[in-house]
């Protein structure tokens, strides 16, 4: 599920105070190692276990930034999506890094949004939803991914992969086999990220269109 109420929040937002240095993520001083290819977008896990490494495998255009901001060297993509678990601690880390970005202390990257990943099955506590809304106001787009029990049963490289141009999963009443089929929410996430990058590269966005 994607929320777009905060799309196109610019870096340097007035009133945003940078977090203490100890709560910032470092910026790579060389090309991000281990990507193996030139990704379209970097996934920055704001804490250990956020889910960035798994999503970087499942989304073919993405790569794991290894918990650092990309330095955008040698034609690296400038586009970044933060990834956090839906816990108070996880969202606080996301808030810190978004504040770092808006204070101009996160390198030359361009933040597209925030993915929050359910920390457990079932209903999200109201406190988490409210805090997610607060943090999301600095993120631009916000996507929420539910808990996928099947994803906990195998290594990330055994999961299915989404690529741009893939047909969406067939909408049937049957439950998807998540060890062989990409979940609907992940399919939508990948398509949204690719579309946002196209909008940034073309210099337009849905908000811009609405102002014309």
Does the residue 186 lie in any domain?
Answer: yes
CATH label of the domain that carries residue 92: 3.40.50
Beta-carbon contacts of 22 under 8 Å, excluding residues fewer than 6 positions away, are none
Write the pLDDT tens digit of every residue in 70-104. Answer: 999 988 999 999 999 999 999 999 999 999 999 99
Output 206 or 151, whichever has higher pLDDT.
Answer: 151
Does the residue 68 lie in any domain?
Answer: yes
As a whole number, the mean pLDDT across the chain is 89
Structural domain of residue 84, as residue ranges?
A: 2-27+38-211
Calpha distance 102→74 (Å, rounded): 24
Q: Which helix (H) or strand (E) holds 80?
A: strand 79-85
Report percent pLDDT > 70 for the chain: 85
Does the residue 33 lie in any domain?
Answer: no
With cut-offs at 50, 70 and 90, classify the pLDDT of residue 160.
very high
pLDDT at 211: 31
pLDDT at 16: 84
Does residue 6 register a pLDDT over 50?
no
Nearest to 115 by CA among 53, 25, 208, 31: 53
Calpha distance 45→83 (Å, rounded): 5
Output 168 or 5, whichever has higher pLDDT.
Answer: 168
pLDDT at 209: 40
**pTM for the whole structure:** 0.88
Does the residue 32 lie in any domain?
Answer: no
Does the residue 112 lie in any domain?
Answer: yes
Number of domains observed in the structure of the chain: 1
């Amino acid at each position: 599920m994607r929320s777009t109420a905060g799309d196109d929040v610019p870096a340097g937002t007035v009133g945003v105070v940078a977090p203490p240095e100890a709560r910032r993520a470092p910026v790579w001083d060389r090309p991000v190692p281990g990507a193996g290819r030139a990704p379209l977008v970097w996934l920055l896990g704001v804490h250990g276990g956020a889910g960035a490494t798994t999503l970087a495998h499942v989304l073919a255009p993405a790569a794991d930034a290894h918990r650092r901001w990309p330095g955008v060297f040698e034609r690296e993509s400038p586009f970044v999506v933060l990834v956090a678990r839906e816990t108070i601690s996880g969202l606080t880390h996301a808030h810190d890094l978004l504040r770092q970005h808006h204070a101009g202390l996160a390198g030359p990257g361009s933040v597209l949004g925030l993915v929050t990943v359910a920390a457990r099955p079932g209903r999200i506590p109201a406190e988490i939803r409210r805090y997610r809304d607060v943090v999301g106001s600095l993120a631009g787009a916000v996507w929420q991914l539910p808990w996928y029990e099947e994803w906990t049963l195998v290594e990330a490289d055994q999961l299915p992969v989404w690529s741009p141009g893939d047909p969406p999963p067939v909408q049937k009443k049957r439950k998807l086999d998540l060890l062989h089929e990409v979940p609907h929410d992940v399919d939508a996430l990948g398509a949204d990220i690719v579309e946002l990058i196209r909008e940034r590269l073309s210099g337009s966005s849905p908000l811009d269109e609405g102002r014309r």
